[in-house]
Amino acid sequence: MGIVTAEFSEGVLGENNKQIRLRCQCDSQLAKVILADAKSLGLPVVGVNYGTSEGPASCMPMDWGTLIPLWFLAREKEGASKVVIVTPSREIPLENLTRLGHAIAEAAKTSDRRVAFVASADQGHSHRSDGPYGFNAASAEFDEAVKMAIQKNDLRPLLNLSPQFVEDAKPDSIWQIAILQGILERVSMKGFLLSYQAPTYYGMLCAEYFPEENVATIK
């Protein structure tokens, strides 16, 4: 699992003759705390930099899973928010990703900054026969299970799904969900499902979590 320790991150995405671009400053100090905490738990993590070791050219390229949420969360106040990018691994048990969530939560608690965690990934990728992965009913079943887990405020059943079922459903999200579950085990929060669509061959879901003590105020 990679913890990005670069000083900046930048990405660009073009579609339909339009382009979006974003450059964010990274919170390398918080990233290094997460890295150290994860290592102390015996987790397989590595610090990742790109370009120079420090300075403006120490800049990790963003993929679309990073760029898109940050485009909505950070672009209006570009430079005001610092980011930490974490890359989950599909090669290790989900339990280790949950433990990484523990490390992230504990590091955030010691930070003097307000910290939001974003689990960015699409859901099942086999909703349509004309998609690149073909059709499999498991995608709709998986997406429904994610919706129910959020509405019940319990993500743990998702981590017990059979590997074959996950392979059939072809989600990108189960690994990020495992990290989110680890955070929820350290910070008590209530989840709210905001939207779900499957406009093409993959499902898209948006949810938000608030600390339990803030839920009554939000309602």
The pLDDT of 59-86, averaged and rounded, is 87
Rounded to whole angstroms, the Cα distance separating 36 from 183 reads: 17
Rounded to whole angstroms, the Cα distance separating 117 from 139 reads: 25
Q: Tell how far CA 31 is from the center of its chain.
A: 15
Residues 11 and 65 in one domain: yes
- Phi/psi of residue 184, each to 5°? -65, -25
Task: Indicate the residue among 118, 137, 160 that finishes a domain.
Answer: 118
CATH of the domain at 28: 3.40.830.10
Question: Greatest CA separation found in the chain?
Answer: 49
Residues 104 and 133 in one domain: no
Task: Indicate the residue among 118, 151, 179 that finishes a domain.
Answer: 118
Q: State the total domains in the chain.
A: 2
Residue 78 in this model has a pLDDT that exceeds 80: no
Average pLDDT, the chain: 94
19: number of Cβ within 10 Å: 9
Residues 196 and 103 in one domain: no
Contact 171, 124 (CB under 8 A): yes
Residues 91 and 19 in one domain: yes
Q: Is 93 exposed, middle or buried (0-12, 13-18, 19+ CB in 10 A)?
A: exposed
- Phi/psi of residue 217, each to 5°? -65, -40
Residue 5 in this model has a pLDDT that exceeds 90: yes
Residues 77 and 133 in one domain: no
Cα 185 to Cα 94, 97, 112, 128, distances in angstroms: 14, 12, 21, 35
pLDDT band at 214 (very low <50, low <70, confident <90, very high): low
Domain of 213 in residue numbering reads as 122-219
The predicted pLDDT at position 27 comes to 95
Helix and strand tally (H, E) in the chain? 7, 9
- Give the tens place of pLDDT for each residue, 35-62: 999 999 999 999 999 999 999 999 999 9
Rounded to whole angstroms, the Cα distance separating 85 from 68 reads: 13
Residues 197 and 181 in one domain: yes
Residues 89 and 16 in one domain: yes
Task: Indicate the residue among 69, 84, 118 that finishes a domain.
Answer: 118
Give the whole-number percent of the chain exceeding pLDDT 90. 89
Contact 1, 89 (CB under 8 A): yes
Residue labelled with tokens 């403006």: 56
